[in-house]
């Protein structure tokens, strides 16, 4: 038996990726699985971005790039942050990485010492907790419930902060709940954070463009708090570029430099071709992005209508991202005469194995009453998936 490190033995597998893999495995056996587990747009990358990548190949952008990314791409990110978010950052404060996932991992590894604490307003995105554990930090949940719109309050945050709390990581729009913090709510959280020495916040804004309530609000907009904020964003969701792997941070200079050093030992830099295409994404037309956002909004409404028709599903209205996070606790303890549904993981597996619809259990996001259903799928698939879920859930008693 090969002796692996405790680090990897104790690491949880990503449940989002695990469910997607199980769905693919069933599909390869000829089962018609509808995959509503993986959070990725089903759209293709817009043409003008693809063209820029093709040109980059022909122009031989085939060499290592600076670790933090080409200067003109970081300038394009700075331009975007000013245009869309009113934020002033210099290119030196921007580090491009192999997806926002790596951007966040860099920050966690650069700020958190073993034994130090990271607060995760929950439900939170799966990989936050795993990355904190890899850094040997302590991930502590600050729970938000459906009744308060899956958002934490400044009072809750204040009460959760300890002397060794170094970081808070949250996403808005939120994966998995779709919750969107408004400007006043963000201001109140920022006011708490700045009162505590050495406390930073990762503001994960990867779903920025998939927002149904109006203008996106960035945590770093508050000048009094900007020195404590690491803004994370990327191309995966808004531009339908999950496979291209480009995420970035905009951060206080010392944190950006630390992440540059960290990444220099891990991945060097993200793909040169992707970086060239990023300029087209960040400075080109936003029409395709808005069209996708409109499509997601329509699908959300279709999905909510259909889920409201399933007995026992309690659902809030997500204001952004492309997930619904219904409370399904009504089904816990029920059985189809064969399988007992003891927890939300069992329910998610039941739906996969019987309805052939893949979802993700809420436990992966720190919530044991809900499951996550992605509506980044065609309307036909959404309709078919909801009909199948309804049919098989009705067999539970
Ligand atoms: N943050 C959140 C909240 C996400 O849902 C995801 C999912 N992809 C990421 C970060 C990472 O995105 P990527 O690495 O594809 O840029
Ligand atoms: N972020 C997406 C999700 O939550 C993609 C999978 C992943 O990176 O975890 O489904």
Domain match, 339 and 215 both: no
Domain match, 222 and 272 both: yes
- Output the CA 17–ligand 2 centroid distance in Å: 7
Would you state the pLDDT for residue 214?
A: 87
Pick the last residue of a domain from 283, 305, 333: 283
Whether 56 is covered by a domain: the verdict is no
Q: Which of 126, 130, 172, 206 to mutate to test the pocket of ligand 1 (most atoms within 8 A of CB)?
A: 206
Whether 55 is covered by a domain: the verdict is no
Q: Which atom of ligand 2 is nearest to the CA of 360?
A: 10
HEC-encoded secondary structure of the chain: CCCCCHHHHCCCCCHHHHHHHHHHHHHHCCCCCEECCCCCCCCCCCHHHHHHHHHHHHCCCCCCCCCCCCHHHHHHHHHHHHHHHCCCCCHHHEEEECCHHHHHHHHHHHHCCCCCEEEEEECCCHHHHHHHHHCCCEEEEEECCHHHCCCCCHHHHHHHCCCCEEEEEEECCCCCCCCCCCHHHHHHHHHHHHCCCCCEEEEECCCCCCECCCCCCCHHHCCCCHHHEEEEEECCCCCCCCCCCCEEEECCHHHHHHHHHHHHHHCCCCCHHHHHHHHHHHHCCCHHHHHHHHHHHHHHHHHHHHHCCCCCCECCCCCECCEECCECHHHCCCECCCCECCCHHHHHHHHHHHHCEECEEHHHHCCCCEEEEECCCCHHHHHHHHHHHHHHHCCCC
Whether 371 is covered by a domain: the verdict is yes
Whether 52 is covered by a domain: the verdict is no
Pick the last residue of a domain from 254, 283, 312: 283
Whether 1 is covered by a domain: the verdict is no
Whether 156 is covered by a domain: the verdict is yes
Domain match, 330 and 349 both: yes
Would you state the pLDDT for residue 38?
A: 87
Domain match, 180 and 313 both: no
Residue nearest to atom 3 of ligand 2 (CA): 39
Pick the last residue of a domain from 253, 268, 283: 283
Domain match, 131 and 277 both: yes
Who lines ligand 2 at CB under 6 A? 14, 16-17, 38-40, 101, 125-127, 175
Residues of the chain whose pLDDT is less than 50? Answer: none
Domain of 299, in residue numbers = 6-44+288-393
Domain match, 205 and 104 both: yes
Domain match, 294 and 383 both: yes
CATH code at position 348? 3.90.1150.10
Domain match, 80 and 136 both: yes
Domain match, 106 and 199 both: yes
Domain match, 138 and 255 both: yes
Per-residue pLDDT of 241-256, as tens digits, reads: 999 999 999 999 999 9
CATH code at position 197? 3.40.640.10
Domain match, 109 and 23 both: no
């Amino acid at each position: 038996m090969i002796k692996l490190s405790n680090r990897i033995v104790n690491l949880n597998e990503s449940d989002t990726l695990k469910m997607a893999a199980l769905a693919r495995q069933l599909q390869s056996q000829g089962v018609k699985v509808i995959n509503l587990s993986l959070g990725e747009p089903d759209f293709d990358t817009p043409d003008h971005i693809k063209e820029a990548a093709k040109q980059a190949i022909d122009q031989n952008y085939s060499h290592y790039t600076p670790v933090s990314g080409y200067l003109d791409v970081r300038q394009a990110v700075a331009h975007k942050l000013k245009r869309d978010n009113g934020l002033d950052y210099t290119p030196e404060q921007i580090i491009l990485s192999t997806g926002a996932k790596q951007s966040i991992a860099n920050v966690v590894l650069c700020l958190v010492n073993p034994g130090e604490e990271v607060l995760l307003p929950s439900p939170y995105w799966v990989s936050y907790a795993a990355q904190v554990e890899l850094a040997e930090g302590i991930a502590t949940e600050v729970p938000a419930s459906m009744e308060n719109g899956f958002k934490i309050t400044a009072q809750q945050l204040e009460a959760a902060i300890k002397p060794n709390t170094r970081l808070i990581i949250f996403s808005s729009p939120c994966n998995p709940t779709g919750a969107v913090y408004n400007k006043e709510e963000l201001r109140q959280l920022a006011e708490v954070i700045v009162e505590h020495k050495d406390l930073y916040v990762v503001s994960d804004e990867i779903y920025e463009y998939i927002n149904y309530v109006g203008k996106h609000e960035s945590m770093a907009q508050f000048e009094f708090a900007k020195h404590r904020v690491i803004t994370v964003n990327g191309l995966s969701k808004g531009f339908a570029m999950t496979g291209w792997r480009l995420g970035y941070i905009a951060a206080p200079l010392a944190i950006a430099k630390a992440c540059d050093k960290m990444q220099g030992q891990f991945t060097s830099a993200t793909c040169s071709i992707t970086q060239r295409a990023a300029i087209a994404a960040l400075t080109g037309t936003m029409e395709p992005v808005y069209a996708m956002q409109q499509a997601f909004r329509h699908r959300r409404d279709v999905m909510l209508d259909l889920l409201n028709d399933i007995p026992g599903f309690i659902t809030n209205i997500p204001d952004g991202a492309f997930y619904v996070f219904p409370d399904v606790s009504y089904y816990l303890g029920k059985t189809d005469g064969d399988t007992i549904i003891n927890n939300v993981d069992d329910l998610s597996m039941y739906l996969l194995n019987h309805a052939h619809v893949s979802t993700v259990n809420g436990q992966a996001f720190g919530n044991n009453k809900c499951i996550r259903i992605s509506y980044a799928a065609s309307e036909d698939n959404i309709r078919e998936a909801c009909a199948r879920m309804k049919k098989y859930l009705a067999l539970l008693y």
